[in-house]
């Protein structure tokens, strides 16, 4: 694991237990208390969540499957998944505040089940074996080599399906970022990294996974590449 990882992780954890918690809790909600950038992030992120739900529903056995939502945030994916009728899910995040919020949202929707496991845990320390491992918009906080190690670890947790999303590196986005238009303003977030898709795919390939679907979701200030991998037989 690259040495920078621990420092990076501590910063990210503090952010999502502090100022970032309140910011992202509002973004991932129906609150009117958001600015234009945050509203657009909400719109773009919802596209990502909706695509993941559609892809999962394509699997005729999904209701009986086990799920791992790694870096779950406030439960934007776990809550609708539970509403669809799945009940075997491990919900984890590096931030205790995020996990508390997810618990609250699941309880508020009367979706509690004995098969929901909550873990305050960074994704490299997760263990278990699941039918679906999903990790959405988490890698943006980490540089390429760290994100690739994370992909490899997530591969080790899934029996068949891995779905990840990340901000893709493109020369155009690199240009926007360089002039401060992609992630605007100081202290709006932790450092934000765009990642090279080929590196992410290579990391999964090395673990015996192949790309089955891809999609780019966009809204102003939101760019996210969604990739579904399947384990080779
Ligand atoms: C932008 S939010 C996305 C949340 C959620 N996946 C979603 O799409 O709604 C990023 C989340 O990743 C979590 N996170 C960041 N680094 C992590 C790590 N190393 N392990 C686990 N969770 C992490 C943060 O605490 C935060 O909740």
Domain coordinates in residue numbering, the chain: 4-231
DSSP tag of 183: S
The answer, yes or no, to whether residue 68 has pLDDT greater than 60, is yes
Q: Which comes out higher in pLDDT, residue 157 or 173? A: 157
- Look at residue 6 in the predicted model and tell me its pLDDT: 78
What are the tens digits of pLDDT across the range 101-132?
A: 999 999 999 998 888 999 999 999 999 999 99
In the structure, what pLDDT confidence band is assigned to residue 178 with cuts at 50, 70 and 90?
low
What separation in Å is there between the alpha carbon of 81 and the centre of ligand 1? 17
| Average pLDDT for the chain | 92
CATH number of the structural domain 4-231: 3.40.50.150
Atom of ligand 1 lying closest to residue 45 CA:
8
If you average pLDDT over residues 10-16, what whole number do you get? Answer: 94
Q: Which residues line ligand 1 (CB under 6 A)?
A: 9, 12, 16, 24, 28, 71-73, 76-77, 93-95, 98, 122-123, 136-138, 141
pLDDT of residue 8: 82
CB 161 within 8 A of CB 232: no
Query: Which three-class secondary structure state does DSSP give residue 14?
Result: helix
Are the C-beta atoms of residues 62 and 129 closer than 8 Å to each other? no
């Amino acid at each position: 694991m690259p040495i920078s990882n621990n420092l990076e992780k501590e910063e990210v954890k503090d952010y999502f237990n502090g100022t970032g918690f309140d910011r992202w809790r509002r973004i991932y909600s129906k609150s009117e208390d958001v600015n234009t950038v945050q509203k657009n992030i909400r719109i773009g992120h919802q596209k990502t969540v909706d695509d993941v739900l559609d892809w999962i529903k394509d699997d005729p056995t999904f209701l009986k499957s086990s799920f791992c939502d790694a870096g779950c945030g406030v439960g934007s994916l776990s809550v609708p998944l539970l509403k669809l009728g799945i009940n075997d899910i491990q919900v984890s995040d590096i931030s205790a505040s995020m996990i508390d919020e997810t618990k609250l949202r699941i309880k508020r929707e009367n979706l509690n089940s004995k098969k929901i496991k909550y873990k305050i845990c960074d994704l490299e320390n997760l263990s278990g074996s699941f039918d679906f491992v999903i990790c959405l918009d988490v890698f943006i906080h980490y540089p390429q080599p760290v994100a690739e190690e994370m992909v490899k670890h997530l591969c080790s947790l899934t029996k068949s399906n891995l779905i990840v999303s990340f901000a893709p590196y493109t020369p155009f986005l690199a240009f926007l970022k360089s002039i401060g238009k992609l992630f605007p303003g100081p202290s709006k977030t932790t450092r934000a990294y765009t990642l090279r898709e080929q590196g992410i795919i290579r990391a999964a390939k090395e673990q015996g996974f192949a790309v089955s679907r891809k999609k780019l979701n966009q809204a102003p200030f939101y760019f996210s590449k969604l990739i579904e991998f399947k384990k080779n037989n």
